[in-house]
Structure 1
Amino acid sequence: MSAWFMHSMFLLFMVPAVLGLVLVLVYALTIPEPVLKENRYPFNFREFITSFWTNPIRFPDFGLAWWGRFLIIFASFLFMTFRPMYMTRHLGLSGDEGAYAIAIGVTIYTVTVMIAGIAAGWISDLLHRRKVIVALSSVLFAIATYLLAHAATVKHFYMIEALMGLAIGMYFAVDMALVVEVLPDRLNSGKDLGVFNIANALPQSLSPAVGAWLLGTLGDNTDFTPLLVVAAVSALVGAAITMLIRSVR
C-alpha cells in the first residue's frame, strides 16, 4: 500500500490511519458484548500494580516463553527500525528506490508469513509438537538476519525477506499455542496474557536505542554487521530458551 502513496507523505500516513479507524468502528459496532449490571471487581490499586507481574520462579515455563518472545521481537525490530537506512547505506539505493524495494519486500514477507503460519499450525497440531517448531523458526530467523549482512543486491534482499516471513509465520502461529499451554492460571488468562504482551511491546521500545548505538558506535553508521549479528544471536538465544520449557513438547 505504501508504494501507492509515495508521492504524498500526507496520504502515506492518513490512508492507513483512516482505514484502521473504519475497521475498528465496524468491529466495535458489529460484535456483540454483554453489559455488566454491576462491577463485581472493585478497583484495588495494589492488585492493579501486582497484575503486571507473574513470578517466573513459580511458573518457570511461562517465564521462559516470555523471554523467548522478547528476544525474537527484539531481533526483528533491530532490523526493521533501520531498514530504510539499510537499503540506502548497505545496498546503495536512492531514497525512492529503497522505499519501493521495502514495499515489495514487505509484500513478499507478508505472503510468506500467511502461508507459513497456516502450514506450521497444521503441522504442529498433527505432530503435537510446539517448542521444537518455535525454536526452529527462531533459528531460521537468525540465519535470515545474518544473511542480510551479506546481501549485495535487491534480489538477495527479497529472498531473505521471504525466509524471514517463513520464520516469523511459523513462530507466531505455534508460539501462541505454546503460550496458552504454559499460562499460570487459566482463570486469569487475560491478566497473564497481558503480562506476556509486555514481551511484545518492551523490545520494540528498546531495540531502536540499542540498534542506534550498535550502528553508530560499532558500525560507523554504515556497517550493519554488528547490528545484524546481535539480532541473529538474540534469536538464537531465544531458540535455546524455548527448548528449556518442560511442560510442552
Structure 2
Amino acid sequence: MVSENCRRAPWMMLGALAGGLALVGLAFADSLVGVIIAWTLVQVSYNFAQGPLSAVMPDRVPLRRRGTFAALSGIGLMVGALGGQIVGSLFFNSLTAGYIVFAMFALVVLALFVVANPDYPSTKIEPEPFRLNEFLRTFWVSPLKHPDFFWAFTGRLLLYTGYFLVIGYQLFLLTDYFGVEHPEQVIPLLGILSLVGILISTVVSGPLSDRIGRRKPFVFASALVVTLALLLPWMWPDLTAWMIMTFVAGFGFGMFQAVDTALMSEVLPSAKSFAKDLGVVNIAATLPQTLAPGLAGAIVLLFGYAGLFPVAIILGILGALAVWPIKPTR
C-alpha cells in the first residue's frame, strides 16, 4: 500500500493523477495556447510518474536477469504506445471521450501496479541534507567523467528520434503521401502489425542477451533492421510498402527496446542516485516522442514527405554507432 514511508509510489500516483487531469484539460482545450499548455502539463506529469517507475529494475532486479526484465518492460512500453494508437483510432470522431478514457485508464493501471508491487520503505534510509545547488547539479552528468553513460544516452536519443520521426507522423503520411482516404480504418491494422513484430523480437532478444551476456550486437542488429525497413517506403511509396515497413521496423525496434534498458542500467554513474539517473535516461526516450512530430514537420516543409526517411535512417545508424564506445557492456 502507498504510505508516507514509501520512496517511489507516491510520486508515481501524483504523476498519474496530474497527468490524468492534464489530459482532461486537453480534451476541453479550445485554443492553440490551451492545447500547448495542456500538452506540456501532460508530458511533465506523466514523466513525473515514469522517473520513479523506471527505478524499479535497479531497485529489485538482479543484473543477470535485467535483459529479461527489460524485454518485459519494453513489451509493456510498446504495447502501450502502439495499442494506444489502435484504441485511439476508435475515438477518431470523439476525441474528448478518448482523452478522458485514457486518463482514467492510466491512473487505474498505475494504482494496481503500486498495490500489487509494494514499494520498499524508506524508514531505514537516512536522508541527506537537501541543498538546491547540489540537487540541480545532479542532473548534469559529465561526458568526460561518465562517457559510457553519455554514449548510451546519446544512442537512445538518436534511435528513438529516428524511429518516431517517421512513426509519429504516420497519420499525415497515410493521408498526404500514400493517399489513404480513411486512415482511421488503416491505423488499427498498422498498429497490430507493428505490435506483432515488436513482441516477437522482444520476447526473443531480451532473454537471449541474458544468456549470451551481450547487449551491443542486438543494438547494431536493430539499427540495421530498422534502416532496411525504412528504405522500402522511401523507394516504393505505396501503402503495401508502409505495411511491410511497419512490421519489419517494429521487429527491429523491439530488438533494441528489449536490451536498451538493461544496457542503460549497467552504465549508471552512481549506485546511490540511480533513480535520478534513470529519470535523466528517460528524457532520451520521451523527448523524441514529444519533439519528433515538430521536427518532422520542418523536414516535410523543406524536403517533402520523402525527406523523412533518409533523416530517420541516418539518425538510427548514428544511434547504433554511439553504443560502440561503451566499455562495461559487450
% identity of equivalent residues:
29
The alpha-carbon deviation at position 199 of structure 1 amounts to 1.3
**Are residue 236 (structure 1) and residue 279 (structure 2) matched?**
no
CA distance in 2, matches of 1:118, 1:26: 24
Shift in alpha-carbon separation, 1:104–1:144, aligned structure 2, 3 A: same
Deviations 1:101-141 (A, max 9, x none): 12211121122212211100122122221111112102212
- Equivalent position amino acid for 2:148 in 1: D
Given that residues 54 and 195 in structure 1 are in contact (C-alpha distance below 8 angstroms), is that contact kept between their aligned partners in structure 2? no
Task: Give me the whole-angstrom Cα distance separating, in 2, the residues matched to 1:5 and 1:207.
Answer: 23
SS in 2 for 1:183: coil
* Greater Cα shift, 147-156 or 194-203: 147-156
- Structure 1: which 5+ runs fail to align? none
Q: Kindly indicate whether the alpha-carbon contact (under 8 Å) linking 1:3 and 1:103 is maintained by their aligned counterparts in 2.
A: yes
Q: Residue 144 of structure 1: which of 216, 221, 229 is its match?
A: 229
Distance apart, 1:236 and its partner CA: 0.5
1:58 equivalenced with 2:139 (yes/no): no
Within 2, Cα distance between the matches of 1:112 and 1:18? 28
Q: Which amino acid aligns with 1:41?
A: E
Q: Say whether the 8 Å CA contact 1:132–1:243 is kept in structure 2.
A: no
Quick one: which of 120, 124, 129 aligns to 2:205? 120
Superposed, 1:44-193 pairs within 5 Å as: 44-94=131-181, 97-193=182-278
How far apart are residue 39 of structure 1 and its match? 6.7
Query: Are 1:71 and 1:235, in contact at CA under 8 Å, matched by a contact in 2?
Result: yes
Query: Structure 1: how far apart are the matches of 2:180 and 2:258?
Result: 34
Q: Name the CA distance, whole Å, in 2 between partners of 1:149 and 1:89.
A: 14
Change (3 A) 1:178 1:28: closer
- Counterparts in 2 of 1:208 and 1:190: CA distance versus 1, 3 Å: same
**Matches of 1:30 and 1:177 in 2, distance apart?**
23
Structure 1's 205 and 185: CA in aligned 2 closer, same or farther, altered over 3 A?
Answer: same
Corresponding position of 2:16 = none
Q: Which residue of 2 aligns with 1:33?
A: 119
Report if the CA contact (8 A) 1:133-1:170 is conserved. yes
Shift of 1:244: 2.3
CA contact (8 A) 2:232 2:242 kept: no
Q: Which runs of 5+ in 2 are unaligned?
A: 1-86
Q: Name the amino acid aligned to 1:10.
A: T
Structure 1 partner of 2:10: none
Query: Which of 269, 282, 286 is the aligned partner of 1:197?
Result: 282
Q: Distance in 2 between matches of 1:199 and 1:237?
A: 15
Structure 1 residues 55 and 207: CA distance shift in structure 2, 3 A: same
Per-residue CA distance 1:78-102 (angstroms, 9 max, x = gap): 11232111001111011xx212212
The answer to whether the Cα contact below 8 Å between 1:67 and 1:199 also exists between their aligned partners in 2 is yes
Once the 2 structures are TM-superposed, how far is the Cα of residue 4 of structure 1 from its aligned partner? 3.5
| Higher normalized contact order (CA 8 Å, seq sep 6+, divided by chain length) | 1
Structure 2 letter corresponding to 1:28 = V
The TM-score normalised by the length of structure 2 is 0.68
* 167-176 or 146-155, which deviates more: 146-155
Distance 2:98 2:192 in 1: 16
How many residue pairs end up in the alignment? 243
Alpha-carbon distance, 1:54 to partner:
1.0
Tell me how large the CA RMSD over aligned residues is. Answer: 2.0
